[in-house]
Amino acid sequence: MPDPTAPFNITVLGAGAWGTAVAIALAARHNVLLWGRNVEAMAATAAAHENTAYLPGFKLPDGLQVGSDFDAALAHAAPAEGVRTLLIAACPVAGLRPLLEQLKGRPIDHIVWLCKGFEYDTGLLPHQVMHAVLGDAISGAALSGPSFAQEVARGLPCALTVASHDERLRNRVVAAVHGGNIRVYACDDMIGVEVGGAVKNILAIATGAADGMGLGLNARAALITRGLAEITRLGTILGGRASTFMGLTGMGDLILTCTGDLSRNRRVGLALAQGKPLTTIVDELGHVAEGVPCARAVRALALKLGVDMPITNAVAGVLFDGDNAAAMVTRLLARDPRDELA
């Protein structure tokens, strides 16, 4: 039996901003290896003790290992007698399937992912992608919640939720991640947790656009509240529990992403209000804004399922159909009245 007080061997697969921040935070208590596929970039990160490309200004702890050797990264967190391990995937949704394909046949017994969104081509949630690639032999968990990479790397407090159908894996993630300034809650509603984390990015684009147009705090509050209703409608149709959307990965993540200026998706909305084309906005961000491709996937899914998602449809109209931000607002205000909780 592993010593319950011993540090974990943790591998973080993906050296973007969020993966780097999680590695920094966990390296204070555990043996952490941060892996990235770009050999030159990882060598530069190791030499500088800083991920200047994705998380500049945050020095890596001395004990944090950095590398691009995939085999070594997996070996660091491979199941072993008497050793506590955790394998974390910190790639965007678009990179999850290719990463999982790399894990086929490898000596792993679990995977925890940090990405939020629907797979763009299939409309699948991350846990469904994992099942499609790896089947039932591997346990999976989603670690999600209101969290900006810069604040986590700085050591500021945050609270997260781990969702998994495997109680042992939930307990393993809590044991590894909960501590210091990070609180971790557990639940088994993977659909609810993943839908909340995905759709809130679309709504952050809407609130960013409204704020960029100077529509005021009343409009922002209305968008957030009605956005939560959209998340709940879609999430419950897909099998999530309504109560999940009132928690950290629903309301909590929605509030943070819609109001915090560190949110890339909110910044997309602010730029749309300035009349910038989407290609320019994405280039200027230099990072993935998951709400952009997610808007296309969720609009298609909502149409297929017959779920009313007017804010999502309006955002997708601006992003992909040539509508402008003012037209988005006009479209939303012109909707017929309805019962609030219907």
Known catalytic residues? 200
Residue 7 DSSP one-character state: P
Residue 31 DSSP one-character state: E
Give the relative orientation of helices 278-285 and 264-273 as an angle to the nearest 10 degrees.
Answer: 140
Is residue 217 exposed (0-12), middle (13-18) or buried (19+ Cβ within 10 Å)? exposed
Distance CA 51, CA 59 (A): 8
Is residue 71 exposed (0-12), middle (13-18) or buried (19+ Cβ within 10 Å)? exposed
Ramachandran sector of residue 147 (left: φ over 0; alpha: ψ -120 to 50; beta: rest): beta
Beta bridge partners, 11, equal 33, 87
Per residue, the 3-state secondary structure of 142-186, as one string, reads EEECCCCHHHHHHCCCEEEEEECCCHHHHHHHHHHHCECCEEEEE
Amino acid in position 273: A
Distance CA 292, CA 316 (A): 8
Q: For 183, phi and psi rounded to 5 degrees?
A: -100, 140
